[in-house]
Structure 1
Amino acid sequence: MPKIDRYGKAAILNAQQITKLFDAFRSDRDRALFGCCLYLGCRISEACSLQTEDCYTDEGQVRSQIQIRKSNTKGKQGTRTIDAHPELVKLLEVHKPGKLWVFQSRSYHWRHLDADSADWILRKACKKAGLEGVSTHSFRRTALTAMSNAGVPLRVIQDISGHHSLNELQKYLEVSEEQRRSAIASLQFHHVGKDSFSDI
């Protein structure tokens, strides 16, 4: 069930919707922020609180691996290190990070952008793009579902997502009608005739 009035599951985005949204974002910062959620499979709070040194070298180059600190994760599950996708590198290269925070607050220079502000940014972009049922969690659900559909083992996805258990991770993964149909169509059995049961 898609999200309606902020209730239900965040929508899974397809490629066309992602393009529409990224075109609708007003700044390089906003595209980089939601690019982190999409290409790191992380929560919006984790993306907002990325420190500049977690993503950039002292020379200002984007790191080949992005670090999400334990102190910024839900339940303080542990620090995660994730390879920087080439598309994310491009987004971070054109974004100008703050001295301490990658996504520094424009109102308070000592603070990072907060999740509520990110939610407001996304809602404005969704309205412009004509999309409904999308939330900040859509990017994380989209990333994790895409990895699962590509055949990435759940243990690997769990390591990237930082979920406490596989059971919690599986709640995030979308199963499409086409996948259900393909699953049933894949069943190939040799039918046993009724005569085979005559001696039972």
Structure 2
Amino acid sequence: MPKINRKGKAAVLTDGEYSRVRRQIRTEKYKLLLDLAWFTGERWGALVKLKVSDVYSRTGQPKEDIIFPAIIRKRRPDGTSETTEIPVHQTLKESLERYEPKTSSEWLFPSRCGTKAICWKNAYNILVRASGNAGLEAKGISTHSTRRSLVNKLRKSGIAKEIIRTITGHRDNKGLDPYYEIEIDERRGAIATL
């Protein structure tokens, strides 16, 4: 989906827009994928490579923290990446409890054959279709929209950049700052303080 008039940046979604897109997804598998993206801010390329053991305990219960191994996360220009743990939000926990991973596959989101994970392109196509069906095709939504949305929700809630970086995996503010989207109302508020 093109990032229409977004200067190469994915759109930031409101809670209502996220809900509209989610309602258009038919299966629990892809609803969970969207929920994981929304509540962790992780890139979809890493999400589709999650294993059941990264998310669920041996007894089948959702873990308190989701582990994103370095091997599935995007590499930095120097070739490094880090394992990160992200606490599970209560709404995400409920979604995880509803989902029943296939016992025949190690992958949280297995392909039809079950021997490998679904591909990023398949997940992207589901998001594009759901966004279009929700009437949001012109907004410029992409798989990175959930990541940018999380960063901006945390920023607006007053969460320190240092904490946001521990969630997103950015080493410094130089990498994090481009995620910020300052809305016109925020600029108006700033000017009003003069």
State if a TM-score over 0.5 links the two structures. yes
In the alignment, the residues of structure 1 paired with residue 180 and residue 101 of structure 2 have an alpha-carbon distance, to the nearest angstrom, of 32
TM-score, normalization by structure 2 = 0.90
Contact 1:67 1:81 in 2 (8 A): yes
1:93 pairs, out of 80, 97, 101, with 97
In structure 2, what is the equivalent of residue 118 of structure 1?
123
Secondary structure of 2:85's aligned partner: strand
Quote how far apart the aligned CAs of 1:4 are.
2.2
In the alignment, the residues of structure 2 paired with residue 183 and residue 6 of structure 1 have an alpha-carbon distance, to the nearest angstrom, of 23
Residue-by-residue CA offset, 1:99-129 (whole Å, 9 max, x unaligned): 31111112x3111111111001111111211
Quote how far apart the aligned CAs of 1:186 are.
2.3
Residue-by-residue CA offset, 1:18-45 (whole Å, 9 max, x unaligned): 1111100111111100111110011001
Contact 1:119 1:136 in 2 (8 A): yes
In structure 1, what is the equivalent of residue 82 of structure 2?
78
User: Structure 2: any 5+ residue segments left out of the alignment?
Assistant: none
**Percent of pairs with identical residues:** 32
1:137 maps to amino acid? H
In the alignment, the residues of structure 2 paired with residue 113 and residue 85 of structure 1 have an alpha-carbon distance, to the nearest angstrom, of 24
In the alignment, the residues of structure 2 paired with residue 139 and residue 123 of structure 1 have an alpha-carbon distance, to the nearest angstrom, of 13
Residues 169-188 of structure 1: pairs in structure 2 closer than 5 A: 169-187=176-194
Contact 1:101 1:111 in 2 (8 A): yes
2:98 maps to amino acid? V
Aligned length: 185
Residues 1-200 of structure 1: pairs in structure 2 closer than 5 A: 3-4=3-4, 8-75=8-75, 76-98=80-102, 99-106=105-112, 108-132=113-137, 133-187=140-194
1:92 maps to amino acid? L
Contact 1:10 1:141 in 2 (8 A): yes
RMSD: 1.7
Distance 1:82 1:109, change over 3 A: same
Contact 1:77 1:164 in 2 (8 A): no
In the alignment, the residues of structure 2 paired with residue 174 and residue 11 of structure 1 have an alpha-carbon distance, to the nearest angstrom, of 9
**Quick check: which has more Rg, 1 or 2?**
1
Displaced runs of 4 or more, over 6 A:
none
